[in-house]
Amino acid sequence: MCGRYVSASPPDELARYFGTKAPAAELEQSFNVAPTNEVYTVRFDAGARSLTAMTWGLVPFWAKDRKVGSRMINARSETAAEKPAFRRAFGWRRCLIPADGFFEWAKIPGEKRKQPYFIHRDDDERLVFAGLWERWTPKDAEGEYLEEETLETCTILTTSANATIAPVHDRMPVLLAPGRWDDWLNPDTDPASLRPLLQPAPEGLLVLRPVTTMVNSVRNKGPELVVEATAEQLIGVPSDVVTP
């Protein structure tokens, strides 16, 4: 899964990167994005890419309560097209979710605590997750829609881990290369044609960096969270994890 990630790029930089306009509102820089936080996404609006803020944790249009979104931060790519919570979004509400890296925690034999890792590209280029989005509108006591309270939410698609990530976790986010962004975003694209994109990242693309347990607290949001842990700060490193 992917339960925490880094979103440190300013919106004007993201807008240039994706060829969009900057959004009206700027989100706070975060090196520890957590479920239910507001996050940047890219989707198609009127046939063009649009940089938009959404809540992380997909709320299906039929949900009675928005709280269900906290349990839907990830969607398994193997089953998203069939699951009731995700199948409509997989059909025509697909998005991109930019990140500067993400975190996973490795189990250490003999320890109850886990060692956190910051996972990023070897060249420090931006990551782009495959995502889905939905629009949810609550109802009042009489069953009337409260349009002014409409919420847009998103989820990150995951796939099986590649050999780099497998020692830490058995799942990883689906990463999309620039040449496939518009195929993924276009609601007219046949969803069946997109299944070959839902694969683990190529070997050698990502590296793991052990970091301190400060990332465990969602209150911590600063750049110190991605600094490599010292030998004294390490809980432990599994023997099959290779770090730069």
Q: Are 129 and 99 in contact (CB under 8 A)?
A: yes
Q: Which residue has the tokens 């930089």?
A: 13
For 1, the 3-state DSSP assignment is coil
DSSP 205-231: SEEEEEB-GGGGSTT--SGGGGSBPPT
The burial of 111, by beta-carbon neighbours within 10 Å (0-12 exposed, 13-18 middle, 19 or more buried), is given as exposed
**Pairing outcome for strands 101-107 and 171-173:** unpaired
28, 38, 82, 104: which one is catalytic? 104
- The residues, ordered by sequence, that sit 6+ positions from 131 with a Cβ below 8 Å of its Cβ are 41, 94, 95, 96, 97, 154, 155, 156, 157
3-class DSSP state of 179:
helix
> How far apart are the C-alpha atoms of 61 and 132, rounded to whole Å?
13
Residues 95 and 50: their CA atoms lie apart, in Å, by 10
104 is catalytic: yes
Q: Tell me which residues are annotated as active site.
A: 2, 104
